[in-house]
Structure 1
Amino acid sequence: MRTPSSPAHAGSRAGVGLLVLAAVLPLAAGCGNTGGLASAGPTPTAIGPVHLWPERKGADVPPADPGGAPPEYVPGLPPVAGQDVHSVDPVALVQAELRAHPDITVGPDGMPAETAAAIRACGREGQAPGACPVRAPYYRDLTGNGKDEVVVGIEFPDRMMSVRVYTADADGRLNRIMATTQTVIGVELAGRDVILRVPSGNPGYELITAWSWDAGQRTMLPAREEIVRVPAGAAGAAAPAPGAP
């Protein structure tokens, strides 16, 4: 037969129970916070843009041509079967453009006379190895039509380069959709963009331009530009253009 506990014993056990509960509660609270979110402090108030001189009449942006840019077809080449630009000889392509636009030194078709002469001599017997200014082509679907375009680089004097992109239409005609000549640090393909890195004019900085296909204008345009600081000693900070001596 068990003897009922006295009030003193009952109070003692209650006190022990409270101590155990007090010890367990912090542990339970700690387990509940494990992996939880912690406050990063007060969030700064967002400050929206302030339109300066709102009374001033700004410049107008001419509307885009609803018809887009006219095709820059390359004449004098046979039609491309199945829109497969891989079958096109890039040297023959550039030579065809030279025949169509001879003696032009400025603009998209501009080319120094010595470069034009070297291109005309490409593939001829006696030309020194590496003397042809037309670089090996690259291929990428840049228009999103499921067919590759061909990217051609032409070396100019003084580390300049002409970068051109061609696509084949449904009739097999080659259409030039990009042409620019820059003092080039490097050229990259990123997704459906052609990225050009050129000196910015400010020491220690370079200009990065992303050329993208504009379906409305039916051409590639310099859609984004960014001036970035080049870390001292970084690889490529003062790199020559591809193929330059």
Structure 2
Amino acid sequence: MTPRRPGRTALAALAASAALPLLSGCGDAGGLEGAGPAPTAVGPRNLWPTLTPASAPADDYGAGETEVVEGVDVPGGDLRRVDPVTVIRAQADADPDTYKDIAEGLADCGTTSHGSSAEDTESTACPVLHAYYSDLTGNGREDMVVGVRAPKGQLLVRVYMYADGKLTQIMNDEDAVISVQLADRSVVVRAVADLAGYEYRTSWSYDSHQRAMLPTRDEIVRTGPPKTPVPETPSGDATPSPSAPSGS
């Protein structure tokens, strides 16, 4: 399983360069001043108009890919009655190379109780976390969101739908995840950025034409000032005492 984030370093560098003007030119602590007349709005300029457009993506983003899960029964079409461990094992059996990094952990998974709490599931060595359910596709049925811990602090986030008699994986994301949130019909994944003081936020939403969850919003967000290292005081150095006033 390969993390899906090949071009984010360039995005982080762009955000850092864009923030530089905000950190300078703030020496005047005076009151509000008029900035003069507002500039006239200018429409976007088309740069390099003779450039030949690319016809293929530079990297495989993994968006729009779906996978039918074979061999898993969905009683009454209710995904709450499906064991998420069974789903992940079925995919691992069908594609061992993709799941080789978590194969050892899957061996530690028992058959989970569908009523078990998140704490019950996440306290074991099994990498498959407690499932959550929400209608993300708008078809009136609950879809299933599954998290799977992977090596190097990665988390796989999967979404499954049941339609037309088939269990289908409609989202597959892997990242160094901070948190995952359900917001209306979107799955929002917050992930660690390679730039201090920022994080990545990707909002996945269902696309009825592609019949898959697509990353409809992908951004790098400022979360706070970068950490500044505190200088260490050399050992053995005494704190200087204030100078005595000189005599007149």
Deviation for aligned residue 1:200? 2.7
Q: 2:199 maps to what in 1?
A: 206
Letter matched to residue 214 of structure 1: D
- Three-state SS of the structure 1 residue aligned to 2:151 is coil
Question: Which residues in structure 2 correspond to 1:2-151 (within 5 Å)?
Answer: 44-60=39-55, 72-81=67-76, 83-102=77-96, 104-105=97-98, 110-112=99-101, 115-123=102-110, 129-151=123-145
Aligned counterparts of 1:70 and 1:42: Cα–Cα separation in 2 = 50
Is the contact between residue 197 and residue 226 of structure 2 (CA under 8 Å) also seen in structure 1?
no
* Match of residue 191, structure 1, among 176, 181, 184: 184
Is the contact between residue 95 and residue 120 of structure 1 (CA under 8 Å) also seen in structure 2?
no
Is the contact between residue 135 and residue 153 of structure 1 (CA under 8 Å) also seen in structure 2?
yes
Aligned residues: 176
Deviation for aligned residue 1:60? 3.6
- When Rg is computed on C-alpha atoms for both structures, the one with the higher figure is 1
The alignment yields a C-alpha RMSD, in angstroms, of 2.6
Moved over 3 A (4+): 41-44
Deviation for aligned residue 1:121? 2.3
Aligned counterparts of 1:55 and 1:157: Cα–Cα separation in 2 = 45
Deviation for aligned residue 1:117? 1.9
- Three-state SS of the structure 2 residue aligned to 1:185 is strand
- Three-state SS of the structure 2 residue aligned to 1:142 is coil
Letter matched to residue 220 of structure 1: M
Is the contact between residue 80 and residue 174 of structure 1 (CA under 8 Å) also seen in structure 2?
no
Is the contact between residue 148 and residue 156 of structure 2 (CA under 8 Å) also seen in structure 1?
yes
- Three-state SS of the structure 1 residue aligned to 2:54 is coil
Is the contact between residue 80 and residue 168 of structure 1 (CA under 8 Å) also seen in structure 2?
no
Q: 1:229 maps to what in 2?
A: 222
Aligned counterparts of 1:80 and 1:174: Cα–Cα separation in 2 = 11
Letter matched to residue 53 of structure 2: G
Aligned counterparts of 1:223 and 1:111: Cα–Cα separation in 2 = 30
Deviation for aligned residue 1:57? 2.8
Aligned counterparts of 2:172 and 2:100: Cα–Cα separation in 1 = 12
Letter matched to residue 98 of structure 1: A
Aligned counterparts of 2:226 and 2:179: Cα–Cα separation in 1 = 16
Residues 71, 46 of structure 1: alpha-carbon distance in 2 compared, 3 angstrom cutoff: closer
Deviation for aligned residue 1:54? 2.2
Aligned counterparts of 2:190 and 2:55: Cα–Cα separation in 1 = 30
Residues 91, 181 of structure 1: alpha-carbon distance in 2 compared, 3 angstrom cutoff: same
- Three-state SS of the structure 2 residue aligned to 1:94 is helix
Deviation for aligned residue 1:154? 0.4
Aligned counterparts of 1:205 and 1:165: Cα–Cα separation in 2 = 26
Letter matched to residue 223 of structure 1: T
Output the TM-score relative to the length of structure 1: 0.64
